[in-house]
A and B are shown apart, each in its own frame.
Chain A
Amino acid sequence: DAGVTQSPTHLIKTRGQQVTLRCSPKSGHDTVSWYQQALGQGPQFIFQYYEEEERQRGNFPDRFSGHQFPNYSSELNVNALLLGDSALYLCASSYKPGQGFYEQYFGPGTRLTVT
């Protein structure tokens, strides 16, 4: 049973560029959430997708956007990269809210470095 997978593992970008990160959820899950983890901090919620729509969003600017595909996989896009966007980006998969299952399972993350 494959767990949550993310690609790429590492990425180096220059300020002002755009980046796309990818995530495939654990088998059976239909919901994907994205978190940003800055060095030495706890993860911060970016947004959550299910049924191919953004369902809720954390305190992140519009430069952060996403998409969910019919097979439940998801992308996180960040435009106009800033140095402060350097972080570990974590994808978590789960069942849709309201079904009585609250656990979120995390992938290994994508380490983004902005220079």
Chain B
Amino acid sequence: AQSVTQLDSQVPVFEEAPVELRCNYSSSVSVYLFWYVQYPNQGLQLLLKYLSGSTLVKGINGFEAEFNKSQTSFHLRKPSVHISDTAEYFCAVILSSNTGKLIFGQGTTLQVKP
């Protein structure tokens, strides 16, 4: 069965430090990959996506992610975080065999400390 695993439930980091949020997936077919952010009491906002082409993708708010097919990973990175980046981050996949349904990980809480 297809699944998405976010390896850290919480990531505390100091302001202006770099951060990496880890995501691994399991699928027998090719996938399209996404990262979403959820601020408190809000819906999900699309940060970035990988559909094809360059494995390094850039998104909004200075975030980027790298698709690694051999390791079935799609880790999210930011070189310098701000207090305003404090939020819940979700990794999600869409299967190439079923492009109507997003499969989400459990989420990672990024806590940026001053």
**Residues of A near any B CB (own CB < 8 A):** 4, 6, 31, 33, 35, 40-45, 48, 55-56, 58, 90, 92, 97-98, 102-109
Contacts and interface: CB of A to CB of B under 8 A. Distances in A.
Contacts of B4: 42
A106 B51 contact: no
Contact of B90 (A6, A42, A92, A107): A42
Decide if the interface of chain B is mainly helix, strand, loop or mixed. strand
A45 B103 contact: yes
Interface stretch (B12-20, B68-76, B77-85, B92-100): B92-100
Contact of A41 (B42, B98, B107): B107
Contacts of A42: 4, 90, 92, 104-107
B101 A45 contact: yes
In this complex, the interface size class of chain B, counting residues with CB under 8 Å from chain A, is: 20 to 34
Contacts of B104: 42-44
Contact of B43 (A44, A48, A107): A107
B107 A106 contact: no
B109 to A, nearest CB: 9
Contact of A43 (B49, B98, B102): B102
A106 B103 contact: no
Given A40-B107, A41-B107, A103-B46, 6 more contacts: A31-B100, A33-B101, A42-B106, A48-B101, A55-B100, A102-B49
B45 interface: yes
B44 interface: yes
A90 B44 CA distance: 9
Interface centre among B43, B92, B103 (most CB of A within 10 A): B43
Report, nearest first, the 6 A-B pairs whose CB atoms are least far apart. Answer: A42-B104, A106-B44, A106-B43, A97-B100, A108-B43, A97-B99
